[in-house]
A = this chain, B = another copy of it.
Amino acid sequence: MNGLSRVALAAAAALFGSAAQAAPATGLTVAQVLERSPAKDWRPLDPQNTLLMDLGADGSRQVIIELAPRFAPQHAANIRTLAHEGYWNGLAINRVQDNYVTQWGDPNAETPDKAKPLGKALPKLPAEFSVPLKGLPLVRLRDADGWAAITGFVDGMPVAANPKTGQAWLAHCYGIVGAGRDMARDSSNGTELYTVIGQSPRGLDLNITVVGRVLQGMQHLAALPRGSAEMGFYGPDETRLQIQRVRLLADVAEDERPALEVLRTDSATWPALLDARRVRKEDWFVHSPRHIGLCNATVPVRPRAAAQVERPSK
């Protein structure tokens, strides 16, 4: 009875970097690794590759998405244009399928005379399922992954690769953002996007163009009512959540931009953080996995202010 509810799983939350716990003599907890990280191990949001999606009319329920132009350059460019021109403003969340995806875009996309015009964005793009592994600044993850021979991170994005084909691709982890397509490989243009809201469906890898990941605000997409029609689409009698607006960060006044920073996966803090997740030093844990999964190795995002508060010298 007493204590079970609050403290239960308490230190376990440190898996996601939210709980500070006392550490034994050796090793560091996740919280300690983050506390000790130098300011240079964090980077600001990239105005040209960050989208702000407002689901609430008052600017609340904001979802922040980072694009991955290194992996899907033509989709990223088209999405930039679409956001710049306000394409998604007033469109809607069309689909929420439990343990799978939340998807948004134009509910009338299939009705030619009702579909929203694309403006300067291109109606057709090539498939961008993978890129050459060679030359990619991949920070390898040493842990085994059943889905791919090589895994790691590039620019904070989870990446898988196959040395036999020489190709690398963004992995379908929780919060990854992809471009919905029809039967044809090249039938996505970035207007219809989805994000993963459950166990990572890695079986989608190499089947669809992945365009980025949600940096913050996943709860606003993951906690939505599931659609009752096939595949989680909303039926005619269900209310779709309207998207208030989606803006490219570059189009937002500097003093209105979210003051966030992202841990660099090419920093010294990143491998230290992974080690702290492999071997748990928080008191609650009685067993350490000595392993981290690609899709469990979430890259931290935090308020930028935290970096500006310098610790006293010690």
* Contact between A205 and B289, CB atoms less than 8 A apart: yes
The A interface is mostly helix, strand or loop, or mixed, namely: loop
Contacts of A194 in B (CB 8 A): 8-9
User: Is A174 within 8 A of B192, CB to CB?
Assistant: no
State whether the Cβ of A105 lies closer than 8 Å to any Cβ in chain B. Answer: yes
- Whether the Cβ atoms of A3 and B207 lie closer than 8 Å is no
B residues less than 8 Å from A129 (CB atoms) = 286-287
Determine whether A291 belongs to the interface, using a CB cutoff of 8 Å to chain B: yes
CB of B296 within 8 A of CB of A203, answer yes
Q: A4-B105, A106-B5, A143-B146 are in contact. Are A230 and B18 (CB under 8 A)?
A: yes
Task: Kindly state whether residue A264 has any CB partner on chain B within 8 Å.
Answer: no
In Å, the complex CA distance between A132 and B277 comes to 27
> Could you tell me the distance in whole angstroms from the C-beta of A171 to the nearest C-beta in chain B?
11
- Cβ of A267 < 8 Å from any Cβ of B? no
In the complex, A239 has a CB within 8 A of chain B: no
Are A1 and B230 neighbours in the complex by a CB distance under 8 Å?
Answer: no
Interface residues in A146-204 by Cβ distance below 8 A to B read: 146-147, 173-175, 180-183, 185, 187-189, 191-192, 194, 197-204
Quick one: closest B residue to A13, CB to CB?
B231
Given A147-B293, A174-B198, list of 9 further CB < 8 A pairs? A3-B110, A4-B182, A5-B94, A13-B100, A19-B231, A96-B223, A197-B222, A198-B199, A206-B286
